[in-house]
Amino acid sequence: MNTEIQAAPAGPTYDARTIALHWLSAALVVGLWGLGQIIDFFPRGVPQVTVRSLHITFGVVLAIVLLARIIWRNSGGIKLAAADSGALGKAAVAVHHLLYALLVAVVGIGLACVWIRGDNIFNLFTIPSFDPGNKALRHNAVELHEWVANMLLAAAALHAAAALWHHLQLKDGVLLRMWPRPVVKPGQ
């Protein structure tokens, strides 16, 4: 079985900006999830403040990338039809909508957590807590953020598995539509 990624797909492809925003989003989601899993392993004080600050900072970067993605998708990005017009195509569209909804939710809830909890960002400034004495609200917001982040990671894993299935089993070029391609400079 030949599982080699071709240099360029035969069919239609997404534009370079759409591809870059997709893979940047994926990297940020995986990295943020990983950071979220290890924050509490660090001792309180500067180490934990630093890791939490990194998580928050990259979360803000994800919010900006997500906003750029939505604007680009609705204004200039190439939109390709689902590879299958039947039930699988409808499922793919539903999963894409779910991924966007979960991205918006996890970012929104994460930002709300910062405001509800109050946070010290790299010991440079402090975001004041919305309700400092309300530990139940803080706990529930953080739990919801974790739950939605786990749902997002599961949906992204399903999305990635489907792309690999298309590539390895169906060999229909779906993965290659979003696969980064080398930039070819004029004259090469």
Structure tokens at 104: 């918006």
Residue 188 lies in a domain: no
* Domain total of the chain: 1
Q: Looking at residue 76, what is its pLDDT?
A: 85
Q: Would you list the DSSP string of 83-140? A: S-SSHHHHHHHHHHHHHHHHHHHHHHHHHHHHHHH-EEETTTEEEPPSSTT-HHHHHH
Q: What is the CATH number of the domain that holds 22?
A: 1.20.950
**What single DSSP character describes residue 6?**
P
Least confident interval from 76-80, 148-152, 179-183: 179-183
Average pLDDT over residues 12-39: 96
Residue 96 lies in a domain: yes
Residue 2 lies in a domain: no
Kindly report the number of other CB atoms within 10 A of residue 30's CB atom: 13
Residue 184 lies in a domain: no
SS3 76: coil
Q: Looking at residue 183, what is its pLDDT?
A: 61
Q: What is the enclosing helix (H) or strand (E) of 70?
A: helix 46-75
How far is 76 from 71, CA to CA, in rounded Å?
A: 8
For the stretch 46-82, pLDDT in tens is 999 999 999 999 999 999 999 999 999 999 888 888 8
Residue 9 lies in a domain: no
SS3 127: strand
Q: Looking at residue 27, what is its pLDDT?
A: 98
SS3 121: strand
Enclosing domain of residue 61: 16-178
Q: Does 160 have pLDDT greater than 50?
A: yes
Handedness of CA 101, 149, 89, 167 (dihedral sign): positive
Residue 106 lies in a domain: yes
Q: Looking at residue 82, what is its pLDDT?
A: 83
How far is 36 from 15, CA to CA, in rounded Å?
A: 32
